[in-house]
Amino acid sequence: MAKLSDDCFALGDRLLSVEEAVAEFRSRLAAVAGAETVPLAAAEDRFLAGDLVADRPVPPHANAAVDGYAVHFDDLSPGSPTTLPVVGRAAAGHPLGRPGRRGEAIRIFTGAPLPDGPDTVVMQEDCRVADRRVTFPPGLRRGAHVRQAGDDIRAGDTVLTAGCRLGPAEIGLAASLGRAALPVRRMLRVAVLSTGDEVRDPGLPVAEGQIYDANRYLLAALLRRLGCDVADRGIVPDRAEAVRSALVAAAAEADAIVTSGGVSVGDEDHVKAALEAAGGQLHHWRLAIKPGKPVALGQLGDVPLLGLPGNPVAAMVTFLLVARPLLLHLAGAEPTPLRRFPVAAGFAHGKKTGRREFLRAVLETGPSGTLVARRHGREGSGMLSSLAGAEGLVELPEDVTAVAPGDPVAYIPLSALI
């Protein structure tokens, strides 16, 4: 990673939009260096480390798009049927083995290489065959039903750009070029930890006043969906030295650290002091969004630290909108715009100006066939149950004060973020 300045995340105290925040850290952070070459079968969901340039055309040769007969178009009569002898056969993997001659037809099957010479394939359904002779109707088109070499990809084309995520289509594309392995960014290693004497791991008994640690498991699952290698640092007790030691250990093994809660200035919030005691810094960002206004971003040496809100819904929303693009940038991913889709509101809602609000929602089809977003779950950034079953987020801009049923709203599907 490029050396971070000592105030990399010091952006002042004013409320920032999500776009401003993302643009700022993209300009201040470099992707984690390093790439590795992995077998194609192991490249799914990794980020390509360099452009993939085709060294051969796809398809590599002209071939038949249908089952039929290959002919020279100039042998066909434009105004009357034409009958030619069938003197050869070509199938996929079994080419004719010689050029096609004038005055003959070649029986050909879908995917078979077109012999040199013939330039047109006539569908078998349009032909009449008898005594090893085939009759073609008039009015055919030159070059019909022929896939030319390079119709899909030409040699020298850049077919995938560095930073793209390798999904099934991209893996198949690389395979079509004969690539058995690909250079990919090494997996971003992210340490996740929770702080607090009241937090317990699931499966352990809890005493009065204690809760189970949901956020760490939530964030670890989100990180894995991003293709990160998660280092689970567990739960750190509310003691300054314990927090300091945990942060130092996390920074030694990770490219980034993600925490939730415990980053404010209360007597029991030790992250800021512990980070500074270890030689790092923590800056509190105030984002103009709801839920999730308080976000802390800091650094320990060259390792960024993202301190997300402690309420589960706020932690997830700020992760998706702020931490996700930051981590993808560190991982060397190609930036992609956040897609918003216009739908109709299926609810009434009032809000204050100055903050962008994100509401959990599900989509339904309205009476007229339009998509309608309906609120999902109970309100409140601590209502973890509202996340289960939610399909997306309705985004209400800063200047909106009220939404009525039927109003157009912007909808962000969670499938685009997770």
- Contact of 128 with 78, CB cutoff 8 Å: no
As a whole number of angstroms, the distance between CA 198 and CA 208 comes to: 9
Instruction: Return the CATH fold of 63-147.
Output: Molybdopterin biosynthesis moeA protein; domain 3 (2.170.190)
Asked whether the domain spanning 39-58+151-185 has the same topology as the one spanning 15-34+186-330, the reply is: no
In sequence order, the β-bridge partners of residue 98 are none
279: left (phi over 0), alpha (psi -120 to 50) or beta: left
- Domain-by-domain residue ranges, the chain? 15-34+186-330, 39-58+151-185, 63-147, 341-416
Which pLDDT band holds residue 264 (cuts at 50, 70, 90)?
A: low
Most confident of 119-128, 199-208, 310-319: 119-128
Which pLDDT band holds residue 2 (cuts at 50, 70, 90)?
A: very low
Window from 123-132, 265-274, 280-289 with minimum mean pLDDT: 265-274
Instruction: Return the CATH fold of 39-58+151-185.
Output: Molybdopterin biosynthesis moea protein, domain 2 (3.90.105)
CATH architecture type of domain 15-34+186-330: 3-Layer(aba) Sandwich (3.40)
Report which residue type is found at 331: A
Which pLDDT band holds residue 382 (cuts at 50, 70, 90)?
A: low
Per DSSP bridges, beta strands 82-90 and 133-136 are antiparallel
104-149 tens-digit pLDDT: 999 999 999 999 999 999 999 999 999 999 999 999 999 999 999 9
CATH architecture type of domain 341-416: Beta Barrel (2.40)
Q: Which pTM was predicted?
A: 0.85
Which pLDDT belongs to residue 1?
43
